[in-house]
Every structure is written in structure tokens, then in C-alpha cells.
Structure 1
Amino acid sequence: MNPTKAFPPPLHGGQLILASIAVALATFMTVLDSSIANVAIPNISGNLGVSVDEGTWVITVFAAANAVSIPLTGWLTQRIGQVKLFVGAILLFIVASWLCGISPTMPVLLTARVLQGVMAGPLIPLSQAILLGSYPKHKSAMAISLWGMTATVGPIAGPLLGGWITDSYSWSWIFFINIPIGLFAAGVTWIIYRDRETATRKLPIDVVGLSLLITWVASLQVVLDKGKDLDWFSSPLIVALGITALVSFAFFMVWELTEEHPIIDLRLFGQRNFLGGTIAISVGYGVFFGNLVLLPQWMQEYLNYRSVDAGLVTAPLGFFAVIMAPIMGRVLPRTDARTVATLGFIGFAFVFLMRSQYITEIDTWHLVLPTLLQGIPMPMFFLALTSIILSGQPADRLPAAAGLSNFVRVFCGAVGTSLAGNEWNNRTILHHARLTEQASIYNPVFNQQIDALKALLHSDTQSAQALFDVTLSAQAAMLGLNDIFYLSAGIFILIIPLVWITRPAKRNKAVSIQDAHA
């Protein structure tokens, strides 16, 4: 392929606008699907006849599959071509979305979500690359800002759209909505970019490394998702999967460090900035995303919020994030990214401390306020740590660094969701047991409460005790969730030192990303 075709000139005018909209919609669709199901989990679980805990697998399997497919993007791009891979991934994402919507059982839905997650992996990095190649080099910051705005709107629209669609129509439509969006994005992208395909070449694929990666990720995810139901390591299946995950992970580490063309370049962790920044952003994202999944579940299960109402409460998350993102884009080149990231961690910790004071009688405003404020530290957290991770990387290693850090971050999101759900269940059981200890006929306060309920309900003792148990369960769940929020605040404070083991980032983030896709 000749150089002119390999490096086509930037787009202009209406063609650039239409292309930007199409590529942005593909990004929006992908980000949307990482959060749109959050508020629909109780409905999906009830409709398919499974517990809410099992329903959460709809989120975790998508994230795990997404994480595994991200490292393959570079190899697939060079084998297939940037445009063909992007359009093909969109079309297969549409097919997976359709399969999700028509799924009659949970196993079928989970299989479709895995396919959807695999197809989503290449879309985010490719959308960045295609946008940057469409704009003149001096407008690369504008291209990245557009991409960032689109990626930020997804978490706002996801819970809101998911709640409204689930309540007004059916949970299936949260997946069907991808079909018209994806068809438009794929069609316009192909029309505009089909003659701007990148050069292709045959490269070896690290089959052993990929097989080991899939094995340990899948085994670990099943352990985390099924462990509680099977009583953890008293189950032979969990023991076998745990050993499989451990052994395959160990072999994966050894293989990738010695392979000439590794699927994941683990040598990047030998660099201080990459190590500290990747661990910080991944642990922080795991905590953040895990809490983002629990909050609407709690509101629907214990506060009797409709799906759309839970979506309205969580949607303000992106309000300040959209405003702050371009501000951070201007501030970061002139400021120590470590200071900005630290402020972001402190902001997250403050928000989780606010949530740790929730009570069962909480009003909507006090649910919305922390979510609204959480949008302020979000761009500080993501943009500053991305700048730290990519800073100092030579141009030829930027794609590998961006891919590996995104893999670890997205996978930690899946792990964080599973761990948060398990810990909430454990803490709820603990608080329920402690509260039940006080529910004794020898406790005069308990007897007074039962008498008051009998008078209020004009019913017998059995009915009053049943209502008391419902109230006690709601209180136990609230106390358990408060524990998760309090622990989350502590984690964000504890990982701040990871930011300060890094060196000051000297390069502009937009330039780094542009170099990564040049």
C-alpha cells in the first residue's frame, strides 16, 4: 500500500462533521452498554427467573470479555485494517445486541453479552485512532475533546435511558436501541473511510499467551461470580477453577515475559510511571464501578424506586464531568498531574464518605447530591492518571501502553463489581444477625415496637413481626452498603501514595494519544 493511502489527508467540511458524528456514536454505543444495564438488573433477573446477584453477571461478563479483547486490537488492525475492523466490530456488536434482546434464558443472555464485550474491545481505541486521523494535526486536541465528551455522556445517558426504556417498554429494548445507532455509525463510517484503509501485514499471533489470558480471566471471573452461591472453596468446582486461574496466570506471566511477540507487553510494568499509574487507575476504577452498580440495585430493592427513577438519580454523575473535562485538558499541561490526580482521589473519598451516612428514610436530593459532586473528581482522576501512564513512553510503545492499561482497568471494573456485590451481601448478613439478636421477647424495646405495629396495622402479632423483619432487613442492607461506601473512601485515600511514586508527567496527553495512533 502506497504512503498516500496509508496516511490520507485530513477530512474537511461536512464530511468531517458527519464522520465525527458516526465515529462518536460508535463510541457512545459502546460506553452506553457498559452502564445501561445497571438499573435494569432487577427487572432482567425477575424476568429470567434468577437472583439479582446472578443478574449482575450481565455486567461482569461484558466487562471481562471487553478487557480480554482490548490487547488484540493492535494485531487485528494490522491483519484486517483499521476501517474494516471498526465497521466489522460495529456490525457484530449489533448482532450481539439483538441476541441479548431476544435471550429467553440467563445462559443465552450471558453468552450474547460475552460476544458483545469482545466486539466492544476494539471500538474504543479504534474510534480514537480514526478521529485523530480525520483531523489536522494542530486540531488533535479538539478531536480528543470530542471523543472525551462522547465517552463521558455515555455514563449519564446509560442509567437514564436504561431506566426509562425498562419501565416504559421492556429490558430487551436497552439492547435493541443499539441496532439503529450501530447501523448508522457503520454505514456512514464505511462510506467515508472505505478508501482510507490502513496498510495491512501478516504478524504472528501469540496463541499460547492469548489462550492463557482467556483461561485465567474466565476462571477467575466465574470464581468471583459463583463463589458465594457455591459456598466458595467448599465447592469442588470453585476449588478447581481457583487452581486453574492461579496456574494459568503464573504460566501466562512467565510466557509473556519471554515471548518475542507477546499479546501483552508485561515489561511495561518495569517503568515507574506505568506501574504506579496503572495500578492506581485500575483499583480506583474497580471501586468506582462496583459502587456504580450497587447504588441503583439498592434503590430499587429497598427504597422501591422504579428503574427510571434510579436512572435519574445516577445520571447527574456526568454533569460536572462534561464541564470539567475540557478544563482539565487545559490545566494538565501546566500542572503536575500527580497533584491533580491526588485531588481527584480526595474528591472521590469525600463523596463516598457522604454516602456512608445514608439512612433508610433518605430523600432523593441527598441521593443525588453525592452523585452530582462525583462528576468533579472524575476527569481529574481519569485524565491525570492517563497522562501519567503515557508520559515518557517512546512513540512506538504508546499503543501497547494504552492497550495494557485499559485491559487492566476494564478487568478491574469487572472484578470490583463482583467483589462489591459479595461484600455487600456479607455485611448485610452480619448486620442482620446483629440486629436480630436484639429482636427478643425479653427485650422491652422490641415488644413495644411490635405492639406499636399491631396497633398501626390493626393486625395480629405474626403480621407485626413480619413487617418488623422487612424493616430489619432493609436496615441491615443499608448498614452493609454504608460499610462498602466507607471502605471505598478508605481505599481511595490509601492508593494516593501510588501516584507519588511516579515522576512528573511532562507530555501533553492529547499529543501522546496522537503519537500512539500515528
Structure 2
Amino acid sequence: MSTTRLILLTTTVIAAAVMELIDISIVNVALSQMGGNLGATLEDTAWVITSYAIANVIVIPLTGFLAAWLGRRTYFIGSIALFTLASLLCGLSTNIWVLVAFRFLQGIGGGALISTSQVIVFESFPVNKRSVASAIFGIGVFTGPTIGPTLGGYILDITSWHWIFLVNVPIGVAVLIGSLLLVKEPAQRQVVKSIDYVGLLLLVVGVGSLQILLERGQEEDWFQTAYISYLTATTVVAIVGFIWWELRVSQPIVNLRVLRSPTLAVASVLTFVTGVGLFTSVYLTPVFAQRLLGFPTLASGLLLLPGALLAIVALILTARLLQTGVPTQLIIAFGFIIFIVFSWQMGHLSPNAGKGDFYGPLIFRGVGLALLTVPLTALALSGLSPAEVPQGAAFNNMMRQLGGSFGIAGTNTYLANRIAQHRTDLVTQLTDNDPETITWLTTASHRLVGQGATELGAIQQSYRLLDQTVTRQATVDSYLDAYLAIGLVFALAMPLILLVVRAAKPVTVSLSDH
């Protein structure tokens, strides 16, 4: 392949993956405006995020099978077309549930784009440049979710929420045309002799139920709500049944036998943890800055940008290190340590922190996650045969998405519990005999009287202000605890790196038969 054609092909397929990844987080900043415009509650509007996540996590593990069944080129181009059309329909929606339905279709189209793009980029490069290919693809994987809130905030500042979806249309059309011209069907492809309908049904039910459970559990007070309890039972039965069935049929819908590779098994767990850090930090940081520190929407999103730019440099550097023979485990361990430093720094921010206080920690975040992206991909695929690579890539990408879902769900539950605990701890220190409490109330009352309030009204308002102050402090402390908790998850996962006996080499197999 000529250099020009390789550049165009790589740019095209990575643009497809980035579109999909941006749409995971770009909607988060628009929920309030979307709900107000469509006359929907915040709870109903949250299904715009949930439906996309459900479709994504169902389709990603099916990517290898669908690419073999339909033909990789046909599947990839069809997915781009579906994603683009669904984006248009989302932007034109005038009803919340119509929007949720089209968002689900968008997730189905987008689910194919990550793993398929990864395999196309990977096999297009010569063997000695495979780590560079991983780094280039890693740029898209990392920057997509990171710039989502920034782009969403900018769009909302200049226009309406509709353009969060409509902006995909011209990009999608360009990617579609580029794919039609550049993406070729592999010379050889697997032949699908039969379809594992039982496995497909169990996967859809199990993973779909799990995603709804994770997305809605905290909002519904977990097992205090009947349908959450039913979903939990359904998830366990369907996923256990799925694993049992897939390991006994000759042509499974998802080849779980690839997990016999110890490198893929370990890399999948570490990728899951990386997904926790990637998506949870993208979720926490704008909310923390916007709701608690009062940053404007666009400014909150821009906090992540410097770290994302430096992460691109780190991704390229990581590929070079792998090419020179630096052990994969060493780079992964270093990435974990840097991310733990980020969590520690964020966990000790002041309630009065300004923008400058965020940039240092968020640069550590970007560099740490960048050092994990390429080596974990290399580690995941290094022990697989050419026939197993597409399934291995899809499984590894699914683990990243599930890590994000588990991380956000767990963080929301943790925040709710910690806010209640911190509030209780603070309130117990506020008594009528406490000098600091008396001084605070007296000062507040005098200030309110000076502003025209009656003496009785000033006293009542000062108590309300004190209650608001306590709630805000409890919430801030809880968010800081959440960052520390994420760092703890990374620290606990680090010993898994030692399970890989030898440094996994970048994949050198040819994927031309896929």
C-alpha cells in the first residue's frame, strides 16, 4: 500500500472510531437542556445515555462474528451508514422516547467501529510498524471520550443540543465515502457455517440487562426497586448460561476460548481497570468543576484538553519504547503509577480550587492512560493466532467499555454513601455550644440584617445558609474521596502485571486472512 493511501485509510477508519467514542461522553453536558426542550424529566433524559451504552456493549463482542458473516468491508461501511443516519434522526427528534430509540440505533452502528477500525489499521501497517499502528489508533481511543465534554460544551455555548448529533452527519458522510474508496475486503475471510442463535440471545439478554442495571441502579436505589432485582437475577442467569453455552458449541457467537491466552486474560482485566479510570475521570471532573466549583460548561470541558494533547505525545513515545524492546509490563506499571499520582492529587484539591489547580493532575491522568493504551493492546493480542485476533480485539474493547460502566455506576453509589456519611460527621460538630458555629451564624445574621432582612428572618436564613454550606462541603469531600478510591482500584490491580511471565512482544502475525 502506498504511503498516501495508507495515510488516507488510517485517517478515515480512525475518524470513524473517534466519532463513536466522542458520542459516549458528548451527551453528558446536554442532558439538562435536552430535557427542558423536550419536556422530559432528568430521569427520562438519562436513557439517552443508557440506550447508547446498552447497544454498544452488546454489539462490540459480536464484531468478530458479524464481520466474518457479512464481510468486514460490508459490515464496517454499513455500520458507518447506520451511525450517520441515526445521528441525523437523533438531531431531528422532537420526543424524548423517539430520541432514545434512535440513540439505540446509533449505538448499534457505533459498536462496530472501534474493533473493526482497530483491525483495519493494524493489518494495514507492515509488521515492524505494528506498535506505531497501535499508537495511532490509541490516539483516537483516548482522545474521543476525553474531548467529548469539551466539544459538547462548545456546541451548547453557540447553538442547541440538536447539533451534538447533527455534527456527526457531515463527518459520517465523509468517512463513508472514504471507506467506500479505501477499505478493501481481506483476501481470505472466515466462513460462517451456522449462526449461534442461543448464544446470541443469551448475550443480548445478559449484557443488556447488566448495562441497564449499572446505568440505572443508583437512581432506582438498587435492590429497593423490584425491576432492578429482576434484572440482577436475569443478568446472572443469562451470563452464566452464555459462558457455559459458548464453551461447548463448535461455532460460538463469541469465541471465549481465546481467553486461554494468559496475556489476553490479564490484559482484559487491566483494560477493564483502565476503562474505569478513563471514563470515570471524564465523568467526575466536569461535574466536580461545574456543579461544585462553579466553572462554566465550556471551561469545565477544556480542563481535560492539555492532558489530552500531551497524551498524544505520550502515545507516540510509548510505541517507540515498545519498538526498542522496553518490556511491556514496565510501561504498563509506570502508567498505573502515574494515574495513581493523578488520583492522589485530585483527592487533595481544595474546595476553592481554580482552573490552574486542575491542569497538573489532569496532565498526569492523560500521560498515565496514554502509557497504558498501546501496551495493553499489544499484550492482549500478543498470544493469539491470526484467526483469534479479531475476537481478542473485540473482547478487549468490550472490557474497556464495561470498565467505564462499572466505574461510573460504582462511583455514583460511592458518592451517595460518602455524602451522607460526611454530612453526618459535619453536622455532629455543629452545636449551639460550639464557638465557631455561633460566630459563623452571628456573622451571617448581621450581614443579612445589613442587606435589609428582619432579625428573625436573618437568623432563619443564616441556618439555611449553614445547611447549604455543610451539604456543599460534604459533597466536595465525597468527590475527593471518589478520586482516591479510583486510585486504590489501580493500586490493587497492579500485581496482576506480574502474572505475565515474560514481556509480551508486539503482535507480529499477519491479519491478511481476516
Q: Of 416, 420, 426, which aligns to 2:411? A: 420
Question: Which position in structure 2 is the counterpart of 1:480?
Answer: 478
- SS of the equivalent of 1:393 reads coil
1:267 aligns with 2:247: no
In the TM superposition, residue 491 of structure 1 has moved relative to its aligned partner by: 1.1
Q: Is the 8 A contact 1:82 1:197 kept in 2?
A: no
Question: Which position in structure 2 is the counterpart of 1:344?
Answer: 335
Aligned residue identity for 2:462: A
Could you tell me how far apart the structure 1 residues matched to 2:347 and 2:485 are? Answer: 9
Aligned residue identity for 2:460: Q
Q: Which moved more, 1:56-65 or 1:301-310?
A: 56-65
When residues 370 and 420 of structure 1 are mapped into structure 2, their CA distance, relative to the original with a 3 A threshold, is: same
1:217 aligns with 2:207: yes
1:110 aligns with 2:100: yes
Could you tell me how far apart the structure 2 residues matched to 1:486 and 1:172 are? Answer: 36
Q: Is the 8 A contact 1:156 1:319 kept in 2?
A: no
Q: Which moved more, 1:189-198 or 1:126-135?
A: 189-198
When residues 433 and 171 of structure 1 are mapped into structure 2, their CA distance, relative to the original with a 3 A threshold, is: farther
Aligned residue identity for 1:364: K
In the TM superposition, residue 268 of structure 1 has moved relative to its aligned partner by: 2.9
Could you tell me how far apart the structure 1 residues matched to 2:95 and 2:432 are? Answer: 45
Counting only pairs closer than 5 Å after superposition, residues 41-440 of structure 1 correspond to structure 2 as: 41-44=31-34, 47=37, 57-132=47-122, 134=124, 143-193=133-183, 201-333=191-323, 334-440=325-431
When residues 156 and 250 of structure 1 are mapped into structure 2, their CA distance, relative to the original with a 3 A threshold, is: closer
- SS of the equivalent of 2:253 reads coil
When residues 232 and 96 of structure 1 are mapped into structure 2, their CA distance, relative to the original with a 3 A threshold, is: same
Structure 1 residue runs without a partner (length 5+): 1-9
Q: Which moved more, 1:301-310 or 1:179-188?
A: 301-310
When residues 48 and 412 of structure 1 are mapped into structure 2, their CA distance, relative to the original with a 3 A threshold, is: farther
CA deviation string 1:139-181 (max 9, x = no partner): 5555444433344442453222111111221222111110110
Q: Is the 8 A contact 2:246 2:252 kept in 1?
A: yes
- SS of the equivalent of 2:247 reads helix
Could you tell me how far apart the structure 2 residues matched to 1:132 and 1:492 are? Answer: 28
Could you tell me how far apart the structure 1 residues matched to 2:240 and 2:126 are? Answer: 45
Question: Which position in structure 2 is the counterpart of 1:515?
Answer: 511
Q: Which moved more, 1:63-72 or 1:322-331?
A: 63-72
Aligned residue identity for 2:483: F
When residues 196 and 216 of structure 1 are mapped into structure 2, their CA distance, relative to the original with a 3 A threshold, is: closer
User: Share of identical aligned residues, percent?
Assistant: 30
When residues 67 and 421 of structure 1 are mapped into structure 2, their CA distance, relative to the original with a 3 A threshold, is: same
When residues 148 and 388 of structure 1 are mapped into structure 2, their CA distance, relative to the original with a 3 A threshold, is: closer
Q: Is the 8 A contact 1:82 1:198 kept in 2?
A: no
TM-score (structure 2 length as normaliser):
0.90
Q: Of 19, 42, 48, which aligns to 1:29? A: 19
Could you tell me how far apart the structure 2 residues matched to 1:200 and 1:490 are? Answer: 43
Could you tell me how far apart the structure 2 residues matched to 1:479 and 1:20 are? Answer: 44
When residues 127 and 11 of structure 1 are mapped into structure 2, their CA distance, relative to the original with a 3 A threshold, is: farther
Could you tell me how far apart the structure 1 residues matched to 2:306 and 2:140 are? Answer: 15
Q: Is the 8 A contact 1:60 1:418 kept in 2?
A: no
Q: Is the 8 A contact 2:278 2:369 kept in 1?
A: no
When residues 245 and 44 of structure 1 are mapped into structure 2, their CA distance, relative to the original with a 3 A threshold, is: same
- SS of the equivalent of 1:37 reads helix
Could you tell me how far apart the structure 2 residues matched to 1:124 and 1:221 are? Answer: 19
- SS of the equivalent of 2:194 reads coil
Q: Is the 8 A contact 2:286 2:301 kept in 1?
A: yes
- The Cα RMSD (Å) is 2.6
Aligned residue identity for 1:247: V
In the TM superposition, residue 437 of structure 1 has moved relative to its aligned partner by: 3.0
Could you tell me how far apart the structure 2 residues matched to 1:274 and 1:144 are? Answer: 16
Question: Which position in structure 2 is the counterpart of 1:3?
Answer: none
Question: Which position in structure 2 is the counterpart of 1:466?
Answer: 464
Could you tell me how far apart the structure 2 residues matched to 1:87 and 1:419 are? Answer: 36
Could you tell me how far apart the structure 1 residues matched to 2:331 and 2:513 are? Answer: 26
Aligned residue identity for 1:481: Y
Could you tell me how far apart the structure 2 residues matched to 1:275 and 1:55 are? Answer: 36
- SS of the equivalent of 2:439 reads helix
- SS of the equivalent of 2:350 reads coil
When residues 173 and 87 of structure 1 are mapped into structure 2, their CA distance, relative to the original with a 3 A threshold, is: same
- SS of the equivalent of 1:505 reads coil
Q: Which moved more, 1:454-463 or 1:37-46?
A: 37-46
- SS of the equivalent of 1:495 reads helix
In the TM superposition, residue 289 of structure 1 has moved relative to its aligned partner by: 1.3
Question: Which position in structure 2 is the counterpart of 1:503?
Answer: 501
When residues 104 and 496 of structure 1 are mapped into structure 2, their CA distance, relative to the original with a 3 A threshold, is: same
Could you tell me how far apart the structure 2 residues matched to 1:479 and 1:473 are? Answer: 10
Q: Is the 8 A contact 2:258 2:384 kept in 1?
A: no
Structure 2 residue runs without a partner (length 5+): none
Aligned residue identity for 2:361: P
When residues 393 and 420 of structure 1 are mapped into structure 2, their CA distance, relative to the original with a 3 A threshold, is: same
CA deviation string 1:35-61 (max 9, x = no partner): 323433454455556676765554454
Question: Which position in structure 1 is the counterpart of 2:437?
Answer: 446
CA deviation string 1:349-401 (max 9, x = no partner): 11000001122211111122211221211222122222222222222222222
Could you tell me how far apart the structure 1 residues matched to 2:256 and 2:113 are? Answer: 23
Aligned residue identity for 2:297: S
Q: Which moved more, 1:290-299 or 1:135-144?
A: 135-144
